[in-house]
Structure 1
C-alpha cells in the first residue's frame, strides 16, 4: 500500500510540475520567471499529461534543463539582474573591518568600486551589454580627448572589453577546443587593435566645436550608462532618467571645451561609472502584478 500511495503522489506532482516546466523550457531562459500561457495543469483543476506524447515531452524538457550550464543560465535577464545587484550591494562586505586602521583601505576600495566591482560583474554576467557599453564609452573618451587611444581612459575599457569577450566566448561558443583557440587569438589581439594600432597609425576622431563635442560626449556616455543600468534594472523609466543624468555629468566635465587630456577623459569615465554604481542598487525591481500575485498565492495554498 505504501508503494501505491507513493506512486500516486509522484504522479500528482508530475501532473502539476511537468507542464509548467515544459512551457518554461519551450520559451527559454530569457522569457522571465513564468510562461506567458499558463498550462492547463497550472490551474490545479485537471492534469494534461494524458495527452499523447505529453509525458515524454515533459521528461525530455526535464532532462534538457538538468543539462544546462549554470554560467549560461546566469546570463539570462532575471538572474543577471540579481547577480549584478547582489555584487554591488555585497561589495562593502569584502572591505576590512575596524575603526581607525581600516578607514583608509575602506575609502580606497569604495573609490575603486566602479572599476573593481561594477565593470567585472557586468562583464562576466552580461557580456553583450558590456561590449556595447565598452564601445560607446571608448568612442566617448576618444571624442573627449581627440585620440582613439588615450591610455588613462582606454586601458580600463580595454580590460573591461577583454573580460566581456572572454565571458561571451565561454558562455556562447560550443566546444572547448574552439573556445580555447578563440580566447588565445582574440584576447591578445584586442589590446593591439584597440590601443597600439590607433595610437601609432590612426588620426584622431573628426573635429568638432565646443557645443558639438559636449553634446556628442554626453550622448555617448548616456547610451553607455543605459546599457550598464539595464543589466541590473528592469524599470525603463528610472533607468533612462539615470542614464540621461550620467550623460549630463559627462557633458558638464567636457563643457564647451575642445580635446582634453587623457586624464580628463579618464575623469569623465570615472564620474559616469561612479554614478551608475551609486544609483543601480537604488533602482528597485518592479512590484509583482496582480495576476502574478494571485498565481503565487494560489500555488502556496495548493
Structure 2
C-alpha cells in the first residue's frame, strides 16, 4: 500500500504511535532537513502526508512517519511506526526532533547583542527550528564518510547505488521505494567491486570497513556528550575533524561543532559575515566569539537565505568506476 492509497488510516494501522508536544512553535521540515541526504535519499521520503524515514533500531527495522508542527505552545507532532523497531522508534521521537535542544542561551538578549544582524534577523524568522539528534551513529557515519573530499553529487550518487543494491524494503505502510539502510554487518559484506561500481574510491571504502569493525562501540558513542563522541570518532584512521563534526551535528544535535575542512563552508561564512572569502582558520576566528553556539550561528546563516557569490573554480566530479 502506498501513502496515497489511504492516508486517513495511517494512525490506525501503525504498530506504535505517539503525539509529541514540543511546548513551543515547531517546524518539522526545518528540523528534519539536515538528516536527509538530498531529495533522492532512499531512506527518506517527504510527502504531503509527512516525513517518512526507515532505519534499524536495536530491536529491528522500522518505518517512521512524522507529521505536524505549528505555532505556539499548542504545536504537536504525530508519529507512527511499523516494524519490529516501532516501539523503540516512537519512544525516541522527542530526542530525534530536538527535545533536548536548548536555545535559551542563544536567545538571551545579551548574547543576541553580540550577533550580526543577519543572524538575529534569521533567528527572529526561524524560532520554530530545532537541531535534531538521531542517536544512530552507524547510519550517519557511513554516508558522511562517502562525502569525504568529493562533491556532494558524487557522494550521493554512490550512496544511492549502494542503498538500492543492499538496502532492504521498509516494513509496514511505507512509501514505494523506501529502504532501510544496511546494518553494519551488511555494509561489511559488500565486496570491493561493488564499492568501485558505486564510484567510491578505496580510501573511503576502507575507512567505512575499518570504522564498522567496531560498530557496537560506535553506537555507544550516542550516550556520550558530543565533544567526547567527536574525539573518539577521530581516533579511527580516516576519520578527521570534518567527518566527526558532520556526524555529531546529526547524532547529538551538537550546537557548536563546525565542519572544518568543508569545501564550501569557510568561504560561505566569510562572505556572510564580512563580505569576503576566508579559509578554515579565518572561519574559526570569525566564529570564535560564539564558541559553544557556533553551529547554531551557521544554521541561522543558512536559514537567512544568504547566498555567496558563485564565481570561481568548482570542484571536479570524479568518476572512479572506470579507473
Fold match, TM over 0.5?
no
TM-score by length of 1: 0.24
**Structure exhibiting the larger radius of gyration computed from Cα positions:** 1
TM-score by length of 2: 0.23
- Indicate the structure with greater helix content: 1
